[in-house]
Amino acid sequence: MTVERVPITLGLQTDKPRGAYAELAVLAEDLGFSGVSVFSDLLYQSSIVPLIEMAWATERIRLGCACWNPFTLHPYEIANQAALLDAHSGGRAYLGLARGSWLGGIGLRPTRPLAHLRDAVGVIDALLAGAGEGYAGEHFRLDEGVRLVSASRPIPLLIGSWGPRGAALAGEFAEEIKLGGCANPAMIAVTRERLRVGADRAGRRAEDIGIVLGAVTVIDRDRKTARSLARREVAMYLDVIAELDPTVQLPEGLLPEIRERLRDGRADAGEVIPDEVLDLFAFAGDPDDIAAQAQRLIDAGVDRIEFGTPHGVDEADGIALLGREVLPRLTGPSAPSSNPR
């Protein structure tokens, strides 16, 4: 029996000039990637313009924001922008939601983030369904009869979360869950069981919810160059997510040292990250390294892999190397997955 290859997508930061997104998306489509996501990190460009630019330039690949943040953007706006992307891409959109990080820097300190996310899902679902049923939530509400003026349809939902409660929420409502900044095979089984809590509550199968692992990716024929750049890129994310992985025991003093270097604005903050830690939170190295890392995730049961920015010393060159020398090496999981993705 032929096992379908796990979808491999790219994640782009919204820090590029006009036209660059279209060029990279066309390159990704030509190379055989399944989709392109853009991030919505705090203080970067809004994601909808890059997404529309890519939608106009491509025909096949799936597009979406991973993830929109309902603490900084009202769920009405998220639903409206997702519907716009879906229309301009001919039905290729997905919609990602997450709490996000670094919100304290703009004076936001969510006290009940999961209830907030749940209500955001409720409002977005009601608007995209288009039936005018309304939604009555604690944090957000939608009056009966309120509809988007433009046509809309339900759009596949992704929830970004590392924690058990966020995973349970995804198990209840989402088509996918993404662990941003994760390249650790051990988190796949952990996340599947966390999904099961919400899936059981909603009468769904946890196995039908896709688990997506995505992380900083740097590929280069010179593996030393790639791993050095990956260390610099991943340091700020490791500060946020490393303690969320219950399967990892970090070396004593590692995170305080990284945090002190980040506070001091030092470019060498990531140089203290050991190889074995780097490989759990980033894809880094030459084509052999990246292909081996990705295959370990596939064999552990991942449903989608997202190679995140910056991809290489030069982004287009890195994407081309991933497409030409990593994608062809990846095989299906060692045992057929029940997940149709």
Per DSSP, 297 falls in state: H
Compute the mean pLDDT over every residue in the chain, rounded to the nearest whole number: 92
Task: Calculate mean pLDDT across residues 264-285.
Answer: 95
pLDDT score of 340 more than 90 = no
Instruction: Convert the pLDDT of each residue in 76-119 to its tens digit.
Output: 999 999 999 999 999 999 999 998 665 566 565 767 788 989 99
Average pLDDT over residues 51-76: 95
Burial of 79 (0-12, 13-18, 19+ CB in 10 A): buried
- In CATH terms, the fold of domain 8-221+285-329 is TIM Barrel (3.20.20)
pLDDT digits (tens, 9 = 90+) for 237-248: 888 888 899 999
* Helix segments in the chain, DSSP class H: 20-31, 48-57, 75-89, 113-129, 164-173, 186-202, 223-241, 254-263, 275-281, 287-299, 315-325
Q: What are phi and psi of 48, to 5 degrees?
A: -70, -35
